[in-house]
Structure 1
């Protein structure tokens, strides 16, 4: 495998890893926001 192909492959792997981290972060942030809405809604009438 040529050095250029190896560099391209490593860059693609890093992009995939970054995309996975971003998706995990966004999913957790959205889940936390939904949890916060339920928490605040439950405690609004008490």
Structure 2
């Protein structure tokens, strides 16, 4: 069944991974701001 692989091109997977990575970086940055703000 290689039909499913053709429906999801490589560019879509790369874009999805980039979105997830950027989302985690932004979430971690916001978490860091809250941690520093709570201590200060």
**TM class, shorter-length:** 0.7 to 0.9
Taking the TM superposition and a 5 Å limit, the aligned residue runs for 1:1-46 are: 9=6, 13-44=9-40
| Equivalent residues, number | 35
The 2-side partners of 1:15 and 1:33 are apart by: 27
- Output the TM-score relative to the length of structure 2: 0.78
State the structure with more CA Rg: 1
- Output the TM-score relative to the length of structure 1: 0.69
C-alpha RMSD of matched pairs (Å): 1.7
Gap runs ≥5 in structure 1: 1-8
